[in-house]
Structure 1
Amino acid sequence: MDETGLPQNWEVRHSNSKNLPYYYDTVEKVSRWEPPQGTDTEKLKKYMATHHSASQGPNTGRPEGKIRVAHLLVKHRDSRRPASWREAQITRSKEEAMGIIEGYEQKIKSGTTTLRELSMSESDCSSARKKGDLGYFGKGDMQQEFEEAAFALQPGQMSGVVETASGLHLIERLE
């Protein structure tokens, strides 16, 4: 056990869509809201008070080493969780999803709309209600392909289509 009090291979991560900490098993690649069995709860309480208290909320400025992005996600039937707030079961193929997101990309590039406006109605991520804003995150917090694309952008820049296990994304770096 480390300073978190969590069992081996577990770590605390932060959900940007819910703005809450959660627990992630780096070997099994599973996440949960409750601490896993075998957690030293006293150590975890101290760790959480120091690292995940309300004083570290969004109004404390940009955290060191972290960036902020908004994204638009189009899921397909082979996505990690083929469901969203928009559709209980997503049945479109990856090719259909690619056609949809490429259409969105063209609308954004033409100036017809913005990624943030479009994400509110079209994104399959729950961050849609926040115009696709995922909040601040650092290296190791997101899926590798997403993270690499996001960190390669300058503020104000938008990525091309980025494919992850979650689906297809357009990413705009905010900060």
Structure 2
Amino acid sequence: MAETGLPPGWEVRTSKSKGLPYYFNTASLESRWDSPEGTDPEKLKVFMASYHSSKADTSSQGSGGGDAIRAAHLLVKHEGSRRPSSWRENKITRSKDEAMEIIKEYERRIKAGETSLAELATTESDCTSARKGGDLGFFKKGDMQREFEDAAFALQPGEISGVVETASGLHLIER
């Protein structure tokens, strides 16, 4: 099997309910969405890109139904986030103000046409959806945090939100 970059005893599995990869420790039976401490982020990036990236496969999801939408996001966490760690950093120590400066610069670059949300999300998002260009797939009302959901459902297809704040951190959302 390819080198995952995960510490011994950890492996990547796929959630049956969400269809997303997560991390599982075969010894302790611990499971988590964020990579465990001791992960080599560069090796993990290569592994996830090779084995767990989505090529926009919607065949099993159809259109998501009439009340579901599909969106992608770029997440910048800060020390006050619900879980201040990510696949990129085991412990996030930036302040909320620093996170706001970072995401505002990402927003500027996207709106100026220098890059796309998907391109930036792949390398910069603190969410595990980064490996899918930030793609969260289809979701309905009630599936996401209220602030995120309200912003996502208010967008027209192809639109990108301004900065949206949730307990998880700061987001840019593209429908």
TM bracket (short chain): 0.5 to 0.7
Task: Show the 5 A alignment for 1:115-134.
Answer: 115-134=117-136
Normalising by structure 1, report the TM-score: 0.68
- Give the alignment's Cα RMSD to 1 decimal: 2.0
The match for 1:84 is 86
Q: Is contact 1:74–1:101 with CA below 8 Å preserved after alignment?
A: yes
Quick one: percent identity of the two aligned structures? 64
Change in 2 beyond 3 A, CA 1:116/1:79: same
The match for 1:73 is 75
Q: What secondary structure, in the 3-state scheme, does the structure 1 residue paired with 2:59 have?
A: helix
How far did 1:14 drift? 4.3
Structure 2: how far apart are the matches of 1:81 and 1:16?
A: 21
Structure 2: how far apart are the matches of 1:69 and 1:132?
A: 8
For each residue in 1:8-50, what CA deviation from the matched residue of structure 2 results, as whole angstroms up to 9, or x when unmatched?
xxxxx9436449xxxxxxxxxxxx89xxxxxxxxxxxxxxxxx
* Aligned residue type for 1:104: Y
Q: Which 5+ residue runs of structure 2 have no aligned equivalent?
A: 1-15, 23-30, 33-56
For each residue in 1:111-153, what CA deviation from the matched residue of structure 2 results, as whole angstroms up to 9, or x when unmatched?
0000000000000000000000000000000000000000000
Structure 1: how far apart are the matches of 2:122 and 2:98?
A: 20
The match for 1:170 is 172
* Aligned residue type for 2:83: R
Q: Is contact 1:16–1:134 with CA below 8 Å preserved after alignment?
A: no
Length, aligned pairs only: 126
Structure 2: how far apart are the matches of 1:146 and 1:85?
A: 21
Task: Show the 5 A alignment for 1:34-53.
Answer: none
Structure 2: how far apart are the matches of 1:153 and 1:17?
A: 24
How far did 1:59 drift? 0.8
For each residue in 1:141-173, what CA deviation from the matched residue of structure 2 results, as whole angstroms up to 9, or x when unmatched?
000000000000011000000000000000000
For the pair shown, the structure with the greater C-alpha radius of gyration is 1
Normalising by structure 2, report the TM-score: 0.68
Structure 2: how far apart are the matches of 1:112 and 1:102?
A: 14
Q: What secondary structure, in the 3-state scheme, does the structure 2 residue paired with 1:76 have?
A: coil
Runs of 4+ in structure 1 off by over 2 angstroms are: 13-19
Change in 2 beyond 3 A, CA 1:96/1:82: same
Q: Which 5+ residue runs of structure 1 have no aligned equivalent?
A: 1-12, 20-31, 34-56
Q: Does residue 15 in structure 1 map to residue 18 in structure 2?
A: yes
The match for 2:64 is 63
Structure 1: how far apart are the matches of 2:19 and 2:98?
A: 28
Q: Is contact 1:71–1:115 with CA below 8 Å preserved after alignment?
A: yes
